[in-house]
Amino acid sequence: MDTADPTRPGVRAELRARPRHVASALALALLIAGLVVSSPGPRSAQAVGRLPSCDLGNVYTVPRGYDDWSVTLVDRLLRVEKDYVPPDLVHVGEAGLPGGGHIRAVAIDDTRAMARAARAAGAPIGVWSGYRSYEEQVQIFNGYARENGLDSAITYSQRPGHSEHQLGLGVDFMSAGGGNPLPGDWATTAAGRWMRDNSWKFGWVNSYPRGEGGARWNDRTCLRYEPWHYRYLGREVAAKVHRSGLTIREYLWRNHTLLDSSGRPIATPTPTPSATPSRSREASTTTMPTVTPSERGVPAAPSVEPTVASAPATVSQYDVDPLVLVAGLLGLAGALALVGRAWARRRAR
Ligand SMILES: [Zn+2]
């Protein structure tokens, strides 16, 4: 680089110095762009990527540690392992709720307070169904599939591994003293209405509200309307979900579910699924009926055995966003052109 000629007028010196500043700024920008391009894709990037479609998949959700209970998302795509069994299951009677079943102890105090408040409001609640193991969900889902066909079953029941009931935080409530909440619209009963309006204050949110225009199918939850099914999120997260106007699935996906830099969920392909189930008693209960995809576009028969979706499983930790790469290259070209022009001018003088 040349040095400023002290004999020239100050104004000229300042004008000549400008390209150097521009070049320096560009070099700095280039350096930053280079760092962005070469750095590994963020393993814990959040709020990127569109909410996945309702296609069936088998990706282990992240986070899913037992301590991450308030933000663990399961849906048609995301799941937990077969041996995911919450370590602190307690009977719902401990929350003063009639009915049967278990929930995680982390939910007991809020649930007890909710049960008391519902009773005081003249809308006492009970539990129809609480925690379900993977194996119990196999029985239930396969029963529905046998009865109504797979295409129908997957619109109202989650496959094993994908159920909030396995988290120990999903409960099908009922009216205390009442029976099965499924027939009719439970949200129109005293207990159902009270839950719809108040449960979030106690950490519980309805997982499967009605869809667009009051439809029974909901594209945002990928399940049919279930006014009785609630998920415990803890008061803090439940209040945020309530205020956001989003469904649990949308809120957790947007704010807590971990994605790679491409916006795909981080797949953790462990444990390795076995392609051929063993001939054990358990394996016989997990056999799925073979179903061909229907004209309605319902995906081919989902496998009850965990099979991690191949695309996310091959996600590289060093994925580079193509946009960042293009921006970096354009920046480099621009910087070189400007530096070249500055040199040419200087030499022409
Ligand atoms: Zn349920």
Phi, psi of 79, rounded to the nearest 5 degrees:
-145, 175
268 C-alpha to center of ligand 1: Å?
26
Return mean pLDDT, the chain.
Answer: 77
249 C-alpha to center of ligand 1: Å?
15
253 C-alpha to center of ligand 1: Å?
20
Q: What angle do CA 275, 150, 132 make, to 5 degrees?
A: 75
CA dist., res. 289 & res. 278, Å (int): 17
Give per-residue pLDDT as tens, 296-325.
Answer: 333 333 444 433 333 332 222 233 444 555
* Three-class DSSP category at 173: strand
206 C-alpha to center of ligand 1: Å?
10
Structure-block tokens of residue 157: 């029941």
Q: What's the sign of the alpha-carbon dihedral 32, 33, 34, 40? A: positive
Percent of the chain residues past pLDDT 70, beyond the cut:
68
Residue 340 confidence class, pLDDT cut points 50, 70, 90 = confident
293 C-alpha to center of ligand 1: Å?
26
Let me know: does 76 contact 279? Beta carbons within 8 Å. no
The pLDDT assigned to 337 comes to 82
Q: What angle do CA 129, 134, 140 make, to 5 degrees?
A: 55
147 C-alpha to center of ligand 1: Å?
18
Give per-residue pLDDT as tens, 193-229.
Answer: 999 999 999 999 999 999 999 999 999 999 999 999 9
138 C-alpha to center of ligand 1: Å?
14
Rounded to two decimals, the pTM is 0.67
CA dist., res. 158 & res. 154, Å (int): 6
310 C-alpha to center of ligand 1: Å?
29
306 C-alpha to center of ligand 1: Å?
21
340 C-alpha to center of ligand 1: Å?
67
228 C-alpha to center of ligand 1: Å?
7
130 C-alpha to center of ligand 1: Å?
8
261 C-alpha to center of ligand 1: Å?
33
Structure-block tokens of residue 36: 């962005």
Residue 248, pLDDT above cutoff 80: yes
* Three-class DSSP category at 74: coil
DSSP 221-240: TTEE-EEEEEEE--HHHHHH
Give per-residue pLDDT as tens, 156-189.
Answer: 999 999 999 999 999 999 999 999 999 999 999 9
CA dist., res. 130 & res. 153, Å (int): 20
223 C-alpha to center of ligand 1: Å?
11
Percent of the chain residues past pLDDT 90, beyond the cut:
57
171 C-alpha to center of ligand 1: Å?
6
Helix axes of 190-198 and 108-120: crossing angle, nearest 10 degrees: 130
Residue 266 confidence class, pLDDT cut points 50, 70, 90 = confident
179 C-alpha to center of ligand 1: Å?
15
Q: How far is CA 267 from CA 46, 61, 80, 161, 163, in A?
A: 15, 7, 11, 15, 18
233 C-alpha to center of ligand 1: Å?
15
Q: Which residue has the tokens 């069936």?
A: 56
- Distance in angstroms between the alpha carbons of the first and the last residue of the chain: 14
129 C-alpha to center of ligand 1: Å?
7
Which of 139, 58, 80, 92 lies closest to 310, judged by CA? 58
162 C-alpha to center of ligand 1: Å?
11
229 C-alpha to center of ligand 1: Å?
5
11-19 long-range contacts (CB < 8 A, ≥24 apart) are 16/346, 19/338, 19/341, 19/342, 19/345
CA dist., res. 14 & res. 221, Å (int): 62
